Each structure stands twice: as C-alpha cells, then as structure tokens.
C-alpha cells in the first residue's frame, strides 16, 4: 500500500531538572528547528519538560506541572503557529496525585493525554501513580499515533493493544538509562516488526543527578529496520515514512508459496493467560 509521505523526528535533548520554564523554551526552539526542516510529527523525551531523576516525592512534586498550566499552553500555541504535531513528556500534578505523562499537542491544541501504565523502580517513577487509562490513540492528518512511555515498550501486550486499535505509529518518549541498551537494540525493532507499525523512540544522551542516559533515539519501520538513529549526541533524528504502509498486516510471497496474516492468524481465545494474573496456564 502506498500513501503520502510524512517527515517525522525524534528529538534527543536533555532536560534541566526542576526548571520547566527553561525546558519549555528549549522545547519550543526544537519544535521550530524541526518544522523548518519539514518535520510534521515530533516526539520528545520522557519527562523532558520537568526532569526525571528526583530524590523524593517532595522534589518530584516541586518539579511537576499541570495540564492546564502555562507550560503546556506555550507548547500548544507554538504547535498551532507552526502547524506541528508534537509529543512531550512531563511529571503531571493532578490533585494530590503525580503521574508520568505524555501528551500529543498539535493544531487545535491538546489532542491526547497518556499517563504511564508500567512503572519501574527508577527516577520519578518511584513516586508517581500508574495511569489506569486504556490504550491512547490519536487520529492525525499524518496517521494514527499510539502513545507509550519508556518501560511500557517491554510489555508486548501494550504495543499489541495499540496496534489492534489502529496505530500506524507508536510514539515512545523514553529516559533509557545505562542498563537499557538491549531495549534500544532489540525491543524497538521487535515491537515494530511484530505489530507491523512504525516506532519513534526519543531518548536523551545527557546526565541527570548521576544517572547516565544512553541516547540511541531512533525511527523504526514496520519491518523492524532502523530508518534513522543516533548515539548520545543531541539533535533531531529525522526520517520520511508512509504511515499507510503500516496498515498492511498480511505478507504474501508467491514465489515460495508463503503467506502470513499478523492479525488474521491470531487465536485470542487461547490467550486468556495474558490478562489473568490469577490463572496461569496448566502444566501437563
């Protein structure tokens, strides 16, 4: 299937912990640079507006921002004026709760909010509440975007739910630390290939309060091939993609009489163990 080409980018940039105002200014500068280069969909790192590594819940709360605060209004105003869709991450204050949140903002304002579902024992995730939202998918002029954050990518069930919901692109803001090399090398490619979707992963390559981040931001195509990537240096990782190509889930190679249907060959009635913590499969 052919379709229109969309220029996408992962923005690999560091964050100043606890200083959202500075991070918003930098994010808007990156948005402007991306749009000048023809980018239509930009993904920025996890918690990029607030920072991620904090020592306790009080520090985490002090760095947090709200959905209706001036920080996101500034991002939304810039997205509107630039005609750009952008995914940004931050620690969200919601009443007494804190969340690790990503939003998709574009022309027309805030399009979707996703609160990280799977939480590792790391950084701010030690002090936030897991999101109880179902899979978040957004129709845009550039394809259907599904939202995921960092550790979520280790859970194939989550990516599959996004793909079953119609995602052409999984946007994955992340803060991969030093132990996550295999995620950058393998998980992004496997999630893309097993679901036949594009994956845009945006990490950072700097250091925050002693935590080293590995960079490795990338754009992956539905076959699992790396279209664009970088090591730890800051910058935009840009690729041109055809989102419509992700909607073809069947593979047919007549020369060798080979055919598969990634979704059509599923047998969901046999997969009950995936959603039942109390009933593992029986052993013979």
pLDDT at 273: 87
pLDDT score of 279: 64
pLDDT (average), residues 29-53: 98
Residue 1 has pLDDT above 50, yes or no: no
Confidence of residue 277 (pLDDT cuts 50, 70, 90): confident
Mean pLDDT of 240-257: 95
Percent of the chain whose pLDDT exceeds 70: 97
Region 153-176: mean pLDDT is 97
Amino acid 278: pLDDT: 66
pTM for the structure as a whole: 0.96
Whether the per-residue pLDDT at 244 is higher than 80: the answer is yes
* Residue 64 pLDDT: 98
Confidence of residue 275 (pLDDT cuts 50, 70, 90): confident
Q: Is the pLDDT of residue 281 over 80?
A: no
Closest CA to 45 of 227, 193, 179, 235: 235
Question: How do residues 43-70 score in pLDDT, each as one tens digit?
Answer: 999 999 999 999 999 999 999 999 999 9
The token pair that represents 35 in the structure block: 């749009």
Residues tagged active-site: 46, 116, 150
Instruction: Supply the pLDDT for residue 15.
Output: 95
Write down the pLDDT at residue 276.
81
Residue in this structure with the two tokens 């109880």, named with its chain if needed: 132
Distance of CA 30 to the CA centre of its chain: 17
Mean pLDDT score across all residues of the chain: 96
Between CA 45 and CA 175 the distance in angstroms is 7
C-alpha torsion 125→131→136→142, nearest 10: -30
Neighbours of 5 (CB within 10 A): 12
Is the separation of the CB atoms in 48 and 87 below 8 Å?
no
**pLDDT at residue number 3:** 76
118 pLDDT above the threshold of 90? yes
185-237 residue pLDDT tens: 999 999 999 999 999 999 999 999 999 999 999 999 999 999 999 999 999 99
In this prediction, residue 265 carries a pLDDT of 97
CATH (residue range 6-248):
3.60.110.10
Q: Kindly list the domain boundaries of the chain, sorted by start residue.
A: 6-248
Q: What is the average pLDDT across 154-182?
A: 97
Q: What is the pLDDT, as a whole number, of residue 193?
A: 97
| Residue percentage of the chain with pLDDT more than 90 | 93
Half-sphere exposure of 81 (CA within 13 A, CB side): 9
pLDDT at 224: 98
Report helix, strand or coil for 52.
coil
């Amino acid at each position: 299937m052919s379709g229109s080409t969309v220029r996408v980018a992962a923005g690999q940039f560091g964050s100043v912990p606890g200083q959202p105002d500075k991070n918003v200014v930098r994010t808007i500068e990156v948005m402007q640079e991306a749009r000048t280069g023809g980018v239509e969909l930009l993904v920025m790192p996890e918690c990029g507006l607030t920072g991620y590594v904090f020592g306790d819940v009080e520090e985490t709360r002090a760095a947090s921002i709200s959905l209706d605060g001036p920080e996101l209004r500034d991002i939304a105003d810039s997205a509107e004026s630039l005609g750009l869709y952008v995914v940004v991450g931050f620690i969200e204050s919601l009443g007494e709760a804190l969340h690790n949140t990503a939003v998709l903002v574009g022309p027309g304002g805030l399009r979707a909010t996703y609160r990280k579902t799977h939480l590792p024992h790391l950084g701010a995730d030690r002090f936030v509440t897991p999101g109880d939202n179902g899979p978040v998918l957004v129709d845009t002029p550039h394809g259907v975007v599904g939202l995921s954050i960092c550790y979520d990518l280790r859970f194939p069930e989550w990516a599959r739910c996004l793909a079953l919901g119609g995602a052409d692109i999984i946007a994955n803001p992340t803060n991969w630390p030093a132990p996550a090399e295999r995620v950058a090398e393998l998980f992004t490619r496997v999630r893309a290939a097993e679901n036949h979707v594009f994956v845009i992963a945006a990490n950072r390559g700097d250091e925050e309060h002693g935590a080293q981040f590995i960079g490795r931001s990338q754009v992956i195509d539905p076959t699992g091939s790396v279209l664009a990537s970088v090591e730890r240096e800051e910058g935009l990782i840009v690729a041109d993609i055809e989102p419509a190509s992700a909607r073809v889930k069947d593979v047919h190679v007549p020369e060798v009489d080979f055919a598969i249907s990634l979704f059509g060959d599923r047998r969901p009635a046999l997969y009950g163990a995936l959603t039942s913590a109390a009933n593992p499969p029986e052993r013979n």
